[in-house]
Structure 1
Amino acid sequence: MSDYETITFDVKDGIATLAFNRPKYRNAISLQMREELPPVIKRVSTDSDIRTLIITGNGGSFCAGGDIKDMGSVTSVDVGRNRMRATGTLLQAVASIDKPVIAAVDGPAYGAGFGWAMLADFVLATPRAGFCASFGKLGLAPDFGLHYTLPRLVGLARAKDLIFSAREVKADEALEMGLVYRVVEADKIMDVAQDMAQAFCNASPTAIGVSKMLLDQTFGMDIRQIGEAEATNQAVCFVSDYHAEAAKRFLNKEPFKFKWPL
């Protein structure tokens, strides 16, 4: 396990697990955490041995957003913009991970913590999970990509509801809205996340990677552009070692390596 103070990070059998680790403060994002997160995200993105990422929080909270105590250090517009530009760089790095990202959310996912969860490809939540774009309560505007992710996940009207009202959405409503993939009991959530992650370790990293990148761009493309991108993606997949092995397994009537566990 890597040596950090505000997060824990572990890689085992192709699965990286990143946990926010300030449970006394409901895993609020401190200035130190902002420094510790970028190298971890860079490693996940660039290490070919890492096949999938699980993001969670320690101590019964996912992430309560930015640490309000640190907000007092923003003494000018320039200081605030520079800090948030660094946040934007981290946001883009997380969004650019071309591997499956699973968020296991227990307890509050507020503010930027909500943003982190919504960047995941699959969000698992316990019954006590709560999602809240809490920025409005502090007279702030959302960050960490919520203006991008929420309209795509739940539509513009519901995105406005969540952002303008700053209300908490519990797990069942989040599931109904499409924010959450599955609601899982707290004592089972990491087991389910691990099972999903292990399945992705047996999937084609090439096929998953190119599909994820194209899906993230699809609302800005027309059908012709998507068709051209699909042709390129498929050509790349056709010549991958994974496809060759999978085709051989099919022809020999052997089971595929990839099997979804749920």
Structure 2
Amino acid sequence: MELKATRYEIDEGVAVVTLARPKRRNAWTGRMHTEYRWILDQADKDPSVRVIVVTGDPEGQAFCAGADLGALDGHAEKGRYDPGTPQDIANPGYGVDPAFDATFAYHFGVGKPIIAAINGAAAGVGLVLAAFADLRFAVTGAKFTAAHGRFNFPAEFGLSWVLPRIVGLSHANDILLSSRVFTSEEAMAMGFLNRLVAPGDLMGEVMTYAKTLAVGVAPGSARETKRQIYRDLHRDAANSVRAAEALLEEMIKAPDYREGIKAWGEKRPANWTG
């Protein structure tokens, strides 16, 4: 696919996806969503990719400023919501669990950890994108908002499901009912972020962390642990234990288990096969 609204590169096992519409503050469009899903699908299928990082073009001075104003105007003119995506859009993460087979929920089915490197404002769908990542690093002074209240929209794309699970009900109610702007410092205090970083250090810290995951964690372990986490949001404790035991019986037979034991004993990095 020709990439017009995004960029994609791989650096030592880490796929970096850049939302690249800097003149529009990396605002989201149907074209961007189409490219983004195609990239995630490629990265998920690529055995050389162990971790995925999502960020915004720094020239846009935002992570993602939400839906493009032109798209919002288009919805009003048509009198209906139009995602602007083709019928044959890629479906990364689909088919793993029915609970993941929906827009943005597909992140949970992607078998690699996804880190949002939030280098500026994250509004509307930009906040959604950050929320559905597995880990979130952000720069100091960044601004966040759900934004939907000012457009007579509902909470978008499952934010009403995911935010209470990240920050708790009280903070989620504050964010969603008010649509107010809050800062990355507040987001860190709420528990929305994993790490708060000075602007010039963000990508360095994210890539160091991502490469540590890529080298130190067996790909099968990363994949199955991620799926356990999101499936267990719907399980009781006993079923979580039973599922973990079944996975252990299966995964202990894999070559990466033996390689992990050998590498640990020899005090060297493991040569994972995935």
Instruction: State the TM-score, normalized to the length of structure 2.
Output: 0.85
Q: What is the match of residue 98 of structure 1?
A: 111
The 3-state SS of whatever aligns with 2:155 is coil
Q: What CA distance in whole angstroms lies between the structure 2 residues aligned with 1:221 and 1:139?
A: 34
Q: What is the match of residue 97 of structure 2?
A: none
Contact 1:55 1:101 in 2 (8 A): yes
Q: What CA distance in whole angstroms lies between the structure 2 residues aligned with 1:44 and 1:206?
A: 15
Q: What is the match of residue 203 of structure 2?
A: 190
Contact 1:102 1:121 in 2 (8 A): yes
1:230-245 pair list within 5 angstroms:
230-245=244-259
Q: What is the match of residue 51 of structure 1?
A: 50
Instruction: State the TM-score, normalized to the length of structure 1.
Output: 0.89
Where do 5+ consecutive residues of structure 1 fail to align? none
What's the offset of the Cα at 1:239?
1.8
Q: Establish whether residue 176 from structure 1 lines up as the match of residue 189 from structure 2.
A: yes
What are the superposed Cα offsets for residues 27-68 of structure 1, whole Å, 9 maximum, x if unpaired? 111232133222112112222221110000012210011112
The 3-state SS of whatever aligns with 1:54 is strand
Letter in 1 for 2:230: D
The 3-state SS of whatever aligns with 1:180 is coil
What's the offset of the Cα at 1:121?
1.5
Q: What is the match of residue 29 of structure 1?
A: 28
Q: What CA distance in whole angstroms lies between the structure 1 residues aligned with 2:153 and 2:235?
A: 31
Letter in 2 for 1:234: L
What's the offset of the Cα at 1:128?
2.2
Q: What CA distance in whole angstroms lies between the structure 2 residues aligned with 1:82 and 1:193?
A: 31
Q: What CA distance in whole angstroms lies between the structure 2 residues aligned with 1:8 and 1:81?
A: 21
Relative to 1, partners in 2 of residues 1:236 and 1:131: Cα closer, same or farther, differing over 3 Å?
A: farther
- Find the partner of 2:142 among 121, 125, 129: 129
Q: What is the match of residue 160 of structure 2?
A: 147
**CA-based RMSD:** 2.3
Q: What CA distance in whole angstroms lies between the structure 2 residues aligned with 1:82 and 1:24?
A: 20
Contact 1:42 1:93 in 2 (8 A): no
Letter in 2 for 1:25: R
Letter in 2 for 1:22: R
Count of residues in Structure 1 that have an aligned counterpart in Structure 2: 254
The 3-state SS of whatever aligns with 1:73 is helix
Q: What CA distance in whole angstroms lies between the structure 1 residues aligned with 2:84 and 2:35?
A: 17
- Find the partner of 1:163 among 141, 152, 176: 176
Give every structure 1 segment of 4 or more consecutive aligned residues whose post-TM-superposition deviation is greater than 6 Å.
85-88
The 3-state SS of whatever aligns with 2:9 is strand
